[in-house]
A and B are shown apart, each in its own frame.
Chain A
Amino acid sequence: MNLWALLRTALLALARNRLRSLLTALGIIIGVAAVIAMVSIGEGAKAQVEQTFSAMGTNLLVVRSGSSGFGGARGGAGSQPTLSWDDLRAIQTELPSVRYAAPELRTSASVISDEQNWTTRIAGVTADYLHIRNWSIARGHGLPDADQDAGAKVALLGQTVVDKLYGPYVDPIGQSIRIRNVPFEVIGVLASKGQSAFGEDYDDTVLVPVRVFADRLEGGLKAFIAGTIYVGAMPGVSTQRTERDITALLRDRHRIREGREDDFSVRNLEELASARQASTQTLTTLLAAIAAVSLLVGGIGVMNIMLVSVTERTREIGLRMAVGARPADILWQFLIEALVLALVGGVVGVVLGIGIAERLSASFSWPLLIRLDVVLYAVAVSAAVGVVFGLYPARRAAQLDPIEALRYE
Chain B
Amino acid sequence: MALLELQDLTRTYRMGDADVHALAGVSLAVEAGEFVAVMGASGSGKSTLMNVLGCLDRPDSGRYHLDGTDVAQLTREQLASVRNRTLGFVFQSFNLLPRTRAVENVELPLLYAGVPAAERRRRARRALEQVGLGQRLDHTPSQLSGGQQQRVAIARALVNSPKLILADEPTGNLDTATSIEVMALLQSLGRTGMTVMLVTHEADIAAYAARSIVMRDGRVIADERRQPLLAVPGAVS
Contact = CB atoms under 8 A, between A and B. Distances in A.
B104 to A, nearest CB: 8
Contacts of A321: 56, 80, 83
A216 interface: no
B194 to A, nearest CB: 16
B13 to A, nearest CB: 11
A327 B77 contact: yes
A81 to B, nearest CB: 89
Contacts of A402: 56
Nearest to A17: B99
Contacts of A325: 80, 112
Interface in A1-59: 1-2, 5, 12, 16
B83 A324 contact: yes
Interface stretch (A130-138, A295-303, A312-320, A355-363): A312-320
B108 interface: yes
B113 A319 contact: no
B45 interface: no
SS class of chain B's interface: helix, strand, loop or mixed? helix
Most chain-B Cβ atoms within 10 A of its Cβ — which of A318, A328, A406?
Answer: A406
B67 interface: no
Given A1-B114, A316-B97, A326 B76 contact: yes
Contacts of A326: 76-77, 80-81, 112
Contacts of A406: 56, 91, 95
Contact of A323 (B51, B89, B99, B117): B89
A384 B44 CA distance: 50
A329 interface: yes
Given A322-B54, A403-B56, A327 B108 contact: no
B76 A327 contact: yes
B100 interface: yes
Contacts of B85: 324
Contact of B57 (A5, A323, A324, A403): A403
Given A2-B114, A327-B76, A327-B77, A319 B97 contact: yes
B232 interface: no
Nearest to B116: A2
B99 A322 contact: no
Interface string B107-132: 01101111001000000000000000
A403 B156 CA distance: 19
A2 to B, nearest CB: 7
B112 A329 contact: yes
Interface in B132-174: 156, 160
A5 B111 contact: yes
A403 B77 contact: no
A324 B114 contact: no
B87 to A, nearest CB: 8
Contact of A1 (B54, B81, B97, B111): B111
Contacts of A1: 111-112, 114
B109 A323 contact: yes
Interface residues on A, range: 20 to 34
A322 B100 contact: no
Interface string A391-406: 0000000000011001
B100 A324 contact: no
Interface residues of B, number: 27
Contacts of B77: 326-328
Interface in B163-201: none
B80 A324 contact: yes
Contacts of A316: 97
A36 to B, nearest CB: 35
B81 A324 contact: yes
Interface string B67-104: 00000000011001101110001010001011110000
B56 A320 contact: no
Nearest to B107: A5
Interface string A53-79: 000000000000000000000000000
A322 B112 contact: no
A322 B114 contact: no
A5 B121 CA distance: 13
Given A315-B95, A403-B51, A323 B84 contact: yes
Contacts of A320: 108, 112
A78 to B, nearest CB: 82
A2 B77 CA distance: 17
A325 B111 CA distance: 9
Given A402-B56, A406-B91, A323 B112 contact: yes
Interface in A188-242: none
Interface string A317-346: 011111111111100000000000000000
B78 to A, nearest CB: 9
A319 B89 CA distance: 9
Nearest to A316: B97
A333 to B, nearest CB: 10
Given A327-B77, A328-B77, A322 B111 contact: no
B114 A323 contact: no
A319 B57 CA distance: 14
Contacts of A12: 100
A316 B91 CA distance: 13
Interface of A: 1-2, 5, 12, 16, 315-316, 318-329, 402-403, 406
Which 7 interchain pairs have the tightest Cβ spacing?
A324-B84, A324-B112, A323-B109, A326-B80, A319-B95, A402-B56, A326-B77
17 contacts: A1-B111, A1-B114, A2-B114, A5-B111, A16-B99, A319-B91, A320-B108, A321-B83, A322-B89, A323-B84, A323-B156, A324-B80, A324-B112, A325-B80, A326-B77, A327-B80, A403-B57
